[in-house]
Amino acid sequence: METPNEDIGKKEKGAEGANPKSALSVNPGVADAPAISPYIRDQRKTLSRKEISAEELAAGILSGNRTHLSKAITLVESNLELHNDKAQAVLELVMPKMGNSIRIGITGVPGVGKSTFIESFGSYLLEQNHKLAVLAIDPSSQRTKGSILGDKTRMEILSKSENAFIRPSPSSGSLGGVARKTRESMYLCEAAGFDTIIIETVGVGQSETQVHSMVDFFLLLMLAGAGDELQGIKRGIMEMADLIAINKADGQNEPFAMRARVEYESALHLFPAPESKWTPRATTCSGIGGKGIDEIWKLVLDYISTTKSNGHYAKNRENQTRMWFEETLREVVLEQFFMRPGKKESIMESEKKLMAGQSTLLKEIKHLTGK
């Protein structure tokens, strides 16, 4: 038999099975809102499925579309054969618009302030109504093969400008301070209408000379106190420089930078005269304060004017294209060599003989190459 209290509880409980006056009752909850708007989610799916053709990419690049330019550079940098074929198709379509820019290579030891200098130098160029593209090469880890790609974060002013384009790319183990496809990326930027291209190298020291084979003007940034003029006698990167700029020439460091400029300028006279008939100079600058930036740009223009008038400008670009063709040809032939049937096994066998001291290096190489 039910007690009066139990009867009252049943009436209060009602059809929902919960007692609204009880402290233990649970009210119906509200469904969680989706983290992403269904409209945006469906739009992303549609965009991700849409395949952009080579013709559409080329048209976008020629119209100055940065998204299409970035996609094309990604295709160029890809190692997939399908992407490479499409990238080459895009390059062929935009080829008539290539070559109409001033190409500047900027290098220097790590910590010299390359990114800060480019931020200041690029801002000055934007004030002069130039369109600037910066191809920043970031070193890749030999262990993980990864790259930070953080150069863009150090160029805050340029990254916000409509007339500037910054593209960080991994070196991916390539030597010489540039990536394997930096040249093709530079051509795409030229086709997009950028009249000044800056290639910022990884900064690896005296051996960083490959960038010299793809630019018109080679700027070497140095620091005061990094060595006297005997340091400048070293062959390699310094004799390739068209201008040496002693960076961070501000505050208490300014007199040291002025003295370093004199020493480097004296060292430059020890090198043979370059084919360009241009006399390399040394100057001082400050990436933070902007000191000397206008003078550096004036020297760049003087160099371009001098080399165009004496014919070296056109000849240099022809030589660079010829060098690019030869390097790419060697790369493709080498790749095909390793892809031959049974070649991997033959190489492993030769390695075993060499490690065991059963043969000589030259003998095994001749055996592998069929000589």
Residues 185 and 84 in one domain: no
Residue 169: per-residue pLDDT: 76
pLDDT at residue number 227: 56
Q: What is the pLDDT of residues 272-293, one digit of tens each?
A: 888 889 999 999 999 988 999 9
| 340, pLDDT greater than 90 | no
Single pTM value for the model? 0.77
Residues 88 and 149 in one domain: no
Do residue 248 and residue 360 come from a single domain? no
Residues 249 and 260 in one domain: yes
What's the whole-number mean pLDDT along residues 203-229? 73
State which of 3-12, 164-173, 205-214 shows the largest mean pLDDT.
164-173
pLDDT for residue 224: 86
Question: Could you read off the pLDDT of 140-192 as tens digits, one per residue?
Answer: 444 544 444 455 566 788 888 899 999 987 654 444 444 468 889 999 999 99
Say if 47 falls within a structural domain: no
- Number of structural domains in the chain: 3
- pLDDT given for residue 282 in this prediction: 94
In the predicted model, what is the mean pLDDT of the chain?
A: 81
The answer to whether residue 159 is domain-embedded is yes
The band of 128, judged by pLDDT with boundaries at 50, 70 and 90, is very high
> 61, 96, 131: which is the final residue of a domain?
96
Does residue 172 or residue 258 have the better pLDDT?
Answer: 258
pLDDT band at 20 (very low <50, low <70, confident <90, very high): low
Band (203; pLDDT cuts 50, 70, 90): low
Mean pLDDT of 299-327: 94
- What pLDDT score does 206 carry? 44
Do 92 and 199 have their domain in common? no
81-95 pLDDT, tens digit per residue, is 888 889 999 999 999
Domain end, chosen from 283, 310, 337, is at 310
102 and 88 fall within a common domain: no
Q: How far apart are the first and last CA of the chain?
A: 108
34 assigned to some structural domain: no
More confident residue, 137 or 120: 120
86: domain CATH number is: 1.20.5.170
Domain that holds residue 332: 322-369
